A = this chain, B = another copy of it.
Amino acid sequence: MNDTPRPDSLTTELLSDDELHRIDGWWRAANYLTVGQIYLMANPLLREPLAPEHIKPRLLGHWGTSPGLSLIYVHLNRLIVKYDLDVIYMAGPGHGGPALVANVWLEGSYSEFYPEITADAPGMLKLFRQFSTPGGIPSHVSVPTPGSIHEGGELGYVLVHAFGAVMDNPDLIVTAVVGDGESETGPLAGSWKGIDFINPVRDGAVLPILHLNGYKIAGPTVWARHDDRDLDAFFRGQGYAPVFVEGDDPATVHRAIAAALEESVTTIRAIQRDARANGLRGRPHWPLIVLRTPKGWTGPKFVDGKPIEGTFRAHQVPVADTRNNAEHRRILEDWMRSYHPEELFDEAGRLRAEYAALAPAGARRMGANPQANGGLLMTPLALPEWQDYALHLEHPATERIGSTAVLGQYLRDIYRANPHNFRLFCPDETNSNRLGAVFEVSDRCLVSTIIPGDDHISPEGRVMEVLSEHNCHGWLEGYTLTGRHGLFATYEAFAMIVDSMAMQHSKWIEHAKRVPWRADIPSLNYLLTSTCWRNDHNGFSHQGPGFIDTIIHRKPTVARVYLPPDANCLLSVADHCFRSVNYLNLIVIDKQPQLQWLTLEEATAHCAAGAGTWPRYSRNPERPDIVLACAGDIPTQEIIAAASMLRQYLPDLGVRIVNVVDLMRLAPADRHPHGMSDEEFISIFTAGTPVVFAFHGYAGVIHDILHGRDAHERFHVRGYQEEGTTTTPFDMVVLNGISRLHLCLDVVRYVPGLLTKGAALVAECNRLLAEHEVYIREHLEDMPIVADWVWTDG
């Protein structure tokens, strides 16, 4: 679309000498404050000679990346003011926390969020003392950092968060700084392609800045040892128009980065203006900046004869032991004084007006931009009545209907009612997961060449499909962190690919709930379909319910797990999740046609309770000899089929069927907010009746959740046992010992006095299991006698 200038053309003298002086002053102030946070606990303005007692006893923090982060910050300030831009800043190298805190303090927003940290000398001292100190603030950019919606602790996600934030956010520009270490991670490498999904007509823009400072903790980065020609090719190949800035002379780099940013922002605006006026014509070539500056730039050059600036030794604390080692202390003092704090701060310790004037006003300051506290911008979803989509069951437990297909219709109408506020994220499985009804109202998004034969694909689409769980999860994080709503739907086994992202996001939410100024954000909703039990066709690699484990060990205040057994329950659960804030809501249900158990009214009551007895499928439930409990669709089917066999063979047996939708209801009330009281637990599971429990995931999950209940000896849990291959659905439940036959054998085993009365049932179960084995050995199709069993009342 537009060709951006090559490096050698970046000589434009954009900055007046005065501007340069003021920008450099702000930058020096930010660097000074960064060093101060790492080192000082007194004498913040160095108005006395530096003494040992001014220095913290424990030195923590990362200097290496910080000067680069501050350089970008101050130059963005200039452009925000010049063009009245709506910009937020994401620091991929989030360990450069003190740099971001320094800039936010300089612009004044820090003191608005934290009035005790005033914008003067006493505030500066508190700023220094609190950093990376018990009871203070973390060393990384994190939840308490104004202006941030990206924790840079676990590297790799800055671009996915940035792209998610700008979707349906047409005026927003996210400046995403990517560290060259971070760029070695898989998730980051896979996230450059975000531009193939950004439509300048309706979306904002991401400006990636690859910050090459050469080293990680100890080794050189891969990219640092490739030349500019390689980097240029790499980025052009992906559709970017890269601009290079390199140097170690501050004035030169100031001028070059100012030109590069000016060029980039102008290009972004031109792309957007053109697309919005004339329509989209092909994928734009979005700008990207490669910034090569020394690691630990402006820091000590040598310590103990070893080079520091520009080497891996500048990564964290570049000069150590400054309390005891006078020479080191002198290096520190010289270093700090090289920024000339006396020029930068006035008598009161305030940033002098000439520099302070660089900050944008009010909410344009990056630390105060509401996009970085996205809950402020949240509008609740306009949700259709879920009841309108419910199945009207004439004969429950007889017909097989795909539940996710029903949900698809509900999602379609959520799209319809929320045209700029809701997206579905899925690794190319929307149809496979039977949610295809959404394509009636929205296409798959692809901002690239569309060719005849493509199915529901356009740059206007809002169904986000990319074969990358990392992109899907990260985009949805960015979307919800800026106040919008969505759903991540994926094959169950492959959710574990984003275990770590789920953990980190749960930590964000948990932490945010404790930071008073952070507004609630929409929950991150997961739908896991194509579950282990029904990946009989894809085989062992596709069978893994481990994501439930990941979610249940999140802080109980933020994690929810739902296992709706049928379509009506799924609708009710989805409605509940879409209304919630500040949770990770995990919903697990298979996509295949499945038996439907509950009417609309029954599902409403059952989901409201989260767990309860199903009288329709029980016999003498008031005086049960056995409680048959289940959580999950296939376990529910097997439990009810077992009840059917029991009714046939042991007609006098009292059988209470219990289904659990909201898994955490099983937890003791003091361990999870959804946990039920002991009274309720007993009312459902009785005080002493044996319980045979069929669970969707690993049995250990139930052992863990039930811990603390008076339930240990009498609960017999069966779940997925890491057994499977390409086989039939029934063989899957047999292989894992959760079939109706195994459950019936358990009942005979655990209900006292059934050994004789149950002999015929035991014989029949063993006969069927043996027959099944023969059948499997002979490579036949599903064993009809078992596959076709359904519940018939009576």
Contacts and interface: CB of A to CB of B under 8 A. Distances in A.
24 contacts: A57-B781, A58-B781, A135-B778, A136-B779, A139-B538, A140-B541, A154-B494, A186-B189, A186-B470, A196-B225, A216-B467, A217-B429, A219-B444, A226-B448, A233-B234, A233-B236, A233-B237, A311-B453, A312-B455, A499-B499, A499-B550, A507-B540, A700-B707, A701-B704
Interface string A493-509: 11011011001101100
Contacts of A698: 553
A549 interface: yes
B181 A185 contact: no
Interface stretch (A161-169, A416-424, A725-733): A725-733
Contact of A222 (B155, B448, B493): B448
A122 interface: no
Contacts of A320: none
A499 B503 CA distance: 12
Contacts of A192: 189
A321 interface: no
A511 interface: yes
Contacts of A467: 155, 181-182, 184-185, 216, 221
Interface of A: 57-58, 60, 95, 129-130, 132-140, 142, 151, 153-156, 181-182, 184-193, 196, 216-222, 225-226, 230-239, 307, 310-312, 428-432, 444, 446, 448-449, 451, 453-455, 457, 465-471, 493-494, 496-497, 499-500, 503-504, 506-507, 510-511, 537-542, 544, 546, 549-550, 552-555, 698-701, 703-705, 707, 712-713, 721-722, 725-728, 731, 775-782
A574 B41 CA distance: 43
B449 A225 contact: yes
Contacts of A226: 237-239, 448
A465 B219 contact: yes
Contacts of A544: 503, 507
Given A134-B779, A503-B546, 9 more contacts: A134-B781, A154-B541, A184-B471, A185-B468, A189-B190, A226-B237, A234-B238, A503-B544, A712-B712
Contacts of A704: 700-701, 703-704
Nearest to A181: B467
Nearest to A539: B138
A773 to B, nearest CB: 9
A-B complex: 7 closest residue pairs judged by Cβ atoms: A153-B541, A234-B237, A186-B190, A233-B237, A700-B704, A189-B190, A712-B712
Nearest to A428: B216
Nearest to A452: B307
Given A496-B503, A497-B154, A186 B218 contact: no
A732 to B, nearest CB: 10
A222 B429 CA distance: 15
- Greatest chain B CB density within 10 A among A225, A542, A728, A781 is at A225
B237 A428 contact: no
Given A130-B779, A236-B230, A453-B311, A138 B219 contact: no
Contacts of A470: 185-186
B129 A546 contact: no
Contacts of A190: 184-190
Given A153-B542, A218-B428, A722-B555, A537 B139 contact: yes
B454 A220 contact: yes
Given A134-B779, A500-B497, A776-B135, A541 B217 contact: no
Nearest to A720: B553
Given A142-B541, A497-B500, A446 B549 contact: no
A219 B129 CA distance: 53
Contacts of A222: 193, 196, 446, 448, 466
A303 to B, nearest CB: 13
Contact of A135 (B235, B454, B777): B777
A369 B555 CA distance: 49
Given A553-B546, A722-B507, A135 B779 contact: yes
Given A57-B781, A226-B239, A726-B139, A471 B707 contact: no
Contact of A154 (B225, B493, B705, B726): B493
Contacts of A129: 779
Contact of A134 (B219, B429, B780): B780
Contacts of A504: 541
A222 to B, nearest CB: 5
A95 B190 CA distance: 22
Given A138-B725, A467-B155, A776-B135, A225 B446 contact: yes
Contacts of A776: 134-135
Contacts of A236: 230, 233, 237
Contact of A468 (B186, B220, B238): B186
A179 B727 CA distance: 26
- Greatest chain B CB density within 10 A among A187, A191, A506 is at A187
Given A186-B186, A237-B232, A237-B233, A511 B540 contact: yes
A507 B220 contact: no
- Greatest chain B CB density within 10 A among A216, A467, A542, A552 is at A467
Nearest to A780: B134
A192 B753 CA distance: 64
A726 B132 contact: yes
A189 B429 CA distance: 20
B219 A457 contact: yes
Contacts of A454: 219-220
Contact of A217 (B134, B218, B432, B451): B432
A217 B503 contact: no
B219 A136 contact: no
